[in-house]
Amino acid sequence: MINLNLRKSTRIDNKIRCMIAFAALIIAMCALFCVNVFTGSADISMSEVLRVISGGVYRQTGTSATILFKIRIPRALAAMLLGGALALSGYLLQTFFHNPIAGPFVLGVSSGAKLTVALVMIFAVSRFHMVNSAVMILAAFVGSMLSLGFVLIVSHRVRQMSMLVVCGVMISYICSAVTDFIVTFADNSDIVNLHNWSMGTFSGTTMDNVRAMSVVVMSATICVFFLSKPIGAYQLGENYAQNLGVNIKLLRVALISLSGLLSACVTAFAGPVSFVGIAVPHIIKVIFHTSKPIVLIPACFLGGSIFCMLCDMIARTAFTPTELSISTVTAIFGAPVVIIVMIRRKRDEL
C-alpha cells in the first residue's frame, strides 16, 4: 500500500515538475519577446511602442512604426521561430544517430545549406535582382540533405560517434571554404548582405520572410510532434523499436528529412547558427528530467526560441552600435554545454 502511494506520488511529482517548467518557459519566451521589441539602438519609449502596436500595422507611417514593424518585430519573431526550429532539428539528429553531440551545425548540415543558398542567391540576384523565400528554403533544403547524405554514408562505414562528428566538422569546413570563395569573388554590390548572412544574423528579416518561415517551421514542428510515439520507441534502439511494430525505415526517412527541413529554414533566413541545436536539447533534458519525446519536442522548441532571442538581444545590444554575429553569442553560451555533456558521458562510461 505504502509502495503504491509512493509510486503514484513520484508520477505526480514529475507531472508537476513538467507543468511548472512549461509555464516558466512560456513566460520567459513572452518576456524576452517583449524585451526584444521594446529595446534597441533607437530610443522608443514604452508608451510609444504600445501606442504604435495598438494602432495596427497598416495605419502607421511614423519612424517608430517603421522601426517596430519593419525591424524589431520581424527580427524577434525570426529569432523565436528559427531558434525553436534549430533546437528541434538538433533533437531529431541526436535521436537519429543515438549521439548526444550531434546537431545541424557540427554535422555540416548548416554549412551545406549555406553553400547552396549562397549559390542560388548569387545566381538569382545577378539574373532577377531578387530572391523568393520559398526558393531560398528549397535551396537550403537541398544543401542540407546533401550534407546529411554524406554523413549517413560515413556513419554506415564507421560506427563510432566521435568519427561521425569529426566527419561532419570536415564537411562543414569544406562547404564554408567554398562559400567564402564564392562570396569573395562575387563582389556585386547587391551581395554585400551575403557576407553578413554567411556569418549568421537575424537582422534584415522582413515580415514576408517571417510569413514564409512560420508556415514551414510550424508545419514541420507539428509533423515532428505527431511522430513523438515512434520516436520514443526508436530511442530504445532500432531492434526494440522494430519489435514494438515501428516501421524503422520510414521513421528514419521522416526524422532525417524533417530535421533537414527545419535547419534548412534557419540557414535560408539567418545563415548558419552554431550550438543551439546541440546545447538546447541537453539543457531541456536536465530541466525536465525525462526522455519522453511528447514532452521534449515542445519543450525543445520553446527552449530554442528563448535561447536564440536571448542571444540575439545580446548580439544587438552588448556593443551598440556594432552588432555581433549571432553565432558568436550562441557559441559562448552553447559550447560550454557541449563540453559538460561530453565530460559527463565519459564519467558515466568509466
Query: Which residues lie near other proteins (CB under 8 A)?
Result: 3, 6-7, 10-11, 98, 226, 228-229, 232-233, 235-237, 239-240, 242-247, 285, 289-292, 294, 348
Which residue has cell 549521439? 99
Min dist CB 300 to other proteins, Å, is 14
Q: Cα separation of 88 and 298, whole Å?
A: 8
Write b or e for each residue in 124-156: b if 16 or more Cβ atoms lie within 10 A of its Cβ, otherwise e: bbeeeeebebebbbbbbbbbbbbbbebbbebbe
Q: Which is nearer to other proteins, 3 or 61 (CB)?
A: 3
Cell of 146: 546533401
Q: Which is nearer to other proteins, 245 or 321 (CB)?
A: 245
3-class secondary-structure state, position 84: helix
Using an 8 Å Cβ cutoff, are 309 and 116 in contact?
no
Q: Which is nearer to other proteins, 7 or 195 (CB)?
A: 7
Which residue has cell 533544403? 141
Q: Which is nearer to other proteins, 65 or 227 (CB)?
A: 227
Min dist CB 229 to other proteins, Å, is 4
Min dist CB 267 to other proteins, Å, is 28
Min dist CB 298 to other proteins, Å, is 12
Which residue has cell 513523438? 228
Q: Residue 223: which residues within 8 A CB-CB, separation 6 or more?
A: 254, 258
Min dist CB 7 to other proteins, Å, is 6
Min dist CB 22 to other proteins, Å, is 16
Cis peptide, bond prior to residue 336, ω within 30 of zero: no
Q: Which is nearer to other proteins, 193 or 242 (CB)?
A: 242
CA neighbor of 220 nearest in space, from 103, 92, 100: 92
Min dist CB 185 to other proteins, Å, is 46
Q: Which is nearer to other proteins, 282 or 316 (CB)?
A: 282
3-class secondary-structure state, position 48: helix
Report how far apart, in Å, the C-alpha atoms of 246 and of each of 30, 88, 113, 135, 302 are.
Answer: 37, 21, 30, 34, 28
Compute the 3-state secondary structure of the chain and give helix, strand, coil in percent, each to the nearest 5: 80, 0, 20
Min dist CB 10 to other proteins, Å, is 4
Cell of 215: 508556415
Q: Which is nearer to other proteins, 97 or 307 (CB)?
A: 97
Q: Which is nearer to other proteins, 66 or 243 (CB)?
A: 243
